Amino acid sequence: MTTETPEPYEPLPEDWDRALVVSPHPDDIEYGGAAAIARWTGQGKRIAYCLVTSGEAGIDGMHPDEAGPAREAEERASARVVGVDEVEFLGYPDGVVEYGLPLRRDLTRVIRRHRPEIVVTANLRETYGGVALNQADHIAVGRAVLDAARDAGNRWVFRELTDEGLEPWNGVRAVWAAGSPEAGHAVDTTETFDLGVDSLRAHAVYLDGLGDGHPEPREFLESIARVDGTRLGCRFAASFEVYPIQLF
């Protein structure tokens, strides 16, 4: 029996200065992507976070009215670990985010305001590979991010944003989806891996709410980063699917 050797990853380009991370929930970017964020902020790049929900439905034993503020606080603390000070929440209801014009409009507004060159989001494929199903919010948000990255550059889409003083921004070069089973690119996170672990550990209330049997943060993140690192040719790496943005 023979097994195919996975194709090596291509290194992600790093000739950019500004990025926006759009995540459905607090903790999404920390499950593998935060070490990459730490690398980039360490290079002096400016990165902001936009959370579509507050993750209020993510802890079974905690009422959403309590969980939401707790998880927002943990996300802000987690972001600071990897050098991100700008964190905003759109307030969409956790677990039932719908793809559609309201979400596209709100994300277009955020992109025009931050004017990033790169937009990072979560895996928007139906699975994480094999039978591991993706979560509905991830798919809805990821699809909306792809559209909003183009909408941001079209002055005739969501014209009310121009009335708000937000001029079109067609400077988004690509959307990078973290943790995609179709990833073809990666970035070396060997030097910043520990910061990524600390960033996930900052979600203490959430992790405690997962209960027994959930992998310890370092163990979980290392299992992914080692595989990605092997395909990039380094110890640890974070992988991304790259969606180039073209305006027509």
What is the pLDDT confidence band of residue 132, given thresholds at 50, 70 and 90?
confident
pLDDT for 1 equals: 46
Give the CA angle between residues 192, 70, 42 to the nearest 5°.
Answer: 20
pLDDT tens digits for range 55-84? 999 999 999 999 999 999 999 999 999 999
pTM for the predicted model, two decimal places: 0.95
Q: Are 156 and 168 in contact (CB under 8 A)?
A: no
Q: Could you tell me the CA-to-CA distances from 234 to 31, 35, 103, 182 in Å, in that order?
A: 19, 14, 38, 20
Give the integer Cα–Cα distance in Å for 115 and 124.
22
What is the pLDDT confidence band of residue 215, given thresholds at 50, 70 and 90?
confident
User: What domains are there in the chain, each with its CATH number?
Assistant: 13-244 (3.40.50.10320)
pLDDT for 130 equals: 77
Q: Which runs of E-coded beta strand occur in 38-171? A: 46-53, 86-92, 118-122
Question: What is the strand order of the sheet 118-122 is part of?
Answer: 10-11, 185-188, 237-244, 174-178, 118-122, 18-23, 46-53, 86-92
Average pLDDT, the chain: 95
